[in-house]
Amino acid sequence: MPEDLIRLTATEAVARLCTGEITPLDLIEAAAARIAAVEPAVNALPTLCLDRARDHAKALLRGERRDAEGEAGWLAGLPVAIKDLTDVAGVRTTYGSPIFADHVPAWSHPIVERIERKGGIVVAKSNTPEFGAGGSTFNEVFGRTRNPWNTSLTCGGSTGGGAVALATGEVWLAHGSDHGGSLRRPATYCSVVGLRPSPGRVTRGTEEDLWSTLSVQGPMARNIPDLALFLDAMAGWDLHDPLTYDAPARPYVDAVAAAEAERPVRIAFTTDFGGAMAMDREMAEICAKEVRRFESLGCIIEETHPPIGDLMEAFLVLRSQHFVVDRESLLATQRDKLKPDIVWQTERGLTETPSRLAWAEHERARFFRAMRDIFAQCDVLITPGASSPAFDVMLRAPEKIGGKVLENYMGGSLINAFATLAGCPAVAVPCGFDRYGRPVGLQVVAPPRQDARALQVAALFERMTGLDRMLPITPREGTVPPYE
């Protein structure tokens, strides 16, 4: 029955596809029914491509498009969602912008080609903020995406649509991207899992800023084994991206399976880097309590953190250059159609001096060396997955966090952006709920290119909590809790 199929994990669904117990068409129809049932409440997947998906499924059933069968990450006809920042051939792709409201690309992005080669079937595009800029998922083309745990709240951004689609059982895997937390904060807010891979792990393909390590593509799922499966489907060298490198000899699903035997010895933990970051008090308390679960495995928890310095300012300086590369021409010709946050960040980038850019690079290098020293002593660094719980869906950002008023929409992002600047892989994994029923999560950060390590530690934690077994859920109405 469709209801039974949407409750399968991605790993279970792929296993049944491989044995022929179910077909890709079965899963597409189950997804279509679930999407029809829950979309009115959440608006996660505004663009569907079901006929295209059915054609793809029929080709697989005829024995076509199976060149990668047997390779790591083979998805065998599993339906997936692709973020609406990323082109899918013949499918409306808007980037969340009214400028591209009717855009239909002729060619797919290299990451989509890779996912489809590995047997993934695209059934929908997931909603995103305009050009992915924002910690809440809304745009003028499709409107707001709502959190299924409480539809009065945001799902976060910018991979908000993907996180909601997973939590509600619309799809089994969701593709996304991450600059300052876009795979991790929505995962935290929706009680799913998301990985920001190491730069170069997954192709960015057609990006213009190809030598920047700030923005990456990556996977989102309902549990860590599924996340590892999707990373295996995505990982590897790509001619279109100069930073990519070969997939690992040991698949990520095998690394996760070996997590118990390769458990960490010492774990560094911090809630707010010694008060340097705004942090919700209850979230900090929950995370500090939950991380202690690792002690039952014999792990040593050491409360420590690298000195943060002026890293937030350095992040904004470097991030602004990304906006200049991507948006300067649109700012000059269609400024009135860009949202204020994009105008602000791009204009800031145009005013930065060479000396200021040099300062930001020095600050980033200093922080990386401080992170290096932490990793010389500890296997991973764990933090809260977000600085604040999910906030009012009608807001672009929380008004304040932990009593601190935010200066701009990026004000609460440093708890995720520090891993971005250090070039580290980082996994968001659920750890509980606050007193208002809002999901809370941990962020597991590993040394650069140690994506398997981050996944293993997150997998160990997930096995201890069992929170992944709560999914999928039916969207729930609620009210907005008070700010504190």
Angle between helices 224-234 and 110-117 (to 10 degrees): 110
Q: What residue spans of 20-129 are helical by DSSP H?
A: 24-42, 50-61, 110-117
- In 3-state terms, what secondary structure has residue 232? helix
Q: Are strands 120-126 and 78-83 parallel, antiparallel or unpaired?
A: parallel
Distance of alpha carbon 55 from alpha carbon 265, whole angstroms: 49
Please report the pLDDT score of residue 221 as a whole number: 99
The active-site residue, picked from 97, 108, 158, 215, is: 158
Q: Using pLDDT thresholds of 50, 70 and 90, give the confidence band for residue 483.
A: confident
- What pLDDT is recorded for position 372? 98
Domain boundaries, the chain: 2-470
Whether the bond between 472 and the residue before it is cis, its omega within 30 degrees of 0, is: yes
CATH of 2-470, one of 3.30.70.100, 1.10.1040.10, 3.40.50.300, 3.90.1300.10: 3.90.1300.10
Identify which of 455, 65, 2 has the alpha carbon closest to the alpha carbon of residue 257: 455
pLDDT at 78 over 80: yes
Q: What is the pLDDT of residues 311-366, one digit of tens each?
A: 999 999 999 999 999 999 999 999 999 999 999 999 999 999 999 999 999 999 99
* Active site (annotated) includes residue 212: no
**Stretch 434-461: mean pLDDT, rounded?**
98
Write down the catalytic residue from 83, 118, 125, 339. Answer: 83
pLDDT over 90 (residue 409): no
pLDDT of residue 202: 98
Whole-prediction pTM: 0.98
pLDDT grade, residue 2 (50/70/90)? confident
For residue 120, what pLDDT is reported?
99
Instruction: Give the pLDDT confidence score for residue 207 in this predicted structure.
Output: 81
Q: Please, which residues have CB within 8 angstroms of residue 456's CB and are 6 or more apart in sequence?
A: 255, 256, 258, 259, 262, 263, 264
Q: Give the model's confidence band at 206: pLDDT under 50 very low, under 70 low, under 90 confident, else very high.
A: confident
Rounded distance, CA 121 to CA 219, Å? 15
Distance between CA 81 and CA 160 in Å, rounded?
12
Residue 419 has pLDDT above 90, yes or no: yes
* Residue among 97, 108, 177, 182 flagged as catalytic: 182
Q: Where are the beta strands (DSSP E) in 226-305?
A: 266-269, 300-303
Q: How far apart are CA 452 and CA 280, in angstroms?
A: 30
158 is catalytic: yes
Mean of the per-residue pLDDT values of the chain: 97
User: Is residue 124 pLDDT above 90, yes or no?
Assistant: yes
Please tell me the predicted confidence (pLDDT) of residue 82. 99
Q: Is 391 exposed, middle or buried (0-12, 13-18, 19+ CB in 10 A)?
A: buried
| Per-residue pLDDT at 484 exceeds 80 | no
- The reply to whether 182 belongs to the active site is yes
Q: What is the structure's pLDDT at 408?
A: 87
In whole angstroms, what is the distance from residue 424 CA to residue 409 CA? 23
Question: Burial of 59 by CB count in 10 Å (0-12 exposed, 13-18 middle, 19+ buried)?
Answer: middle
Residue 23 confidence class, pLDDT cut points 50, 70, 90: very high
* Residue 457 parent element (H or E): helix 451-465
User: Before 355, cis peptide (omega within 30)?
Assistant: no
Q: What share of the chain in percent tops pLDDT 90?
A: 96
